[in-house]
Amino acid sequence: MKQRCTKCDKLLAVGTGNFAIKCPRCKTLNQINTQQSQVKPDIDKGRRTNDG
């Protein structure tokens, strides 16, 4: 599964797991947990939501 930055959509990783990665482009800290559900940004409110 491809993991992208929630702010700038840069590809950060490929695979599954639970990790935090800082985007080298926009410096946003992305918390990723693909074992439970994928985290997606809520564009209207600027917050993350769990769709699952």
b/e code 13-37 from CB counts within 10 Å (16+ = b): eeeeeeeeeebeeeeeebebeeeee
51 falls in which pLDDT band (50, 70, 90)? low
Predicted confidence at residue 6, as pLDDT, reads 95
- pLDDT at res. 50: 62
What pLDDT digit, counting tens, does each position of 3-49 carry? 999 999 999 999 989 989 999 999 999 998 987 555 566 655 555 65
pTM value surpassing 0.85: no
pLDDT of residue 29: 97
Per-residue tokens: 37: 């559900």
Q: CA 25: distance to chain centroid?
A: 14
Distance CA 45, CA 10 (A): 21
Count CB neighbours of 51 within 10 A: 8
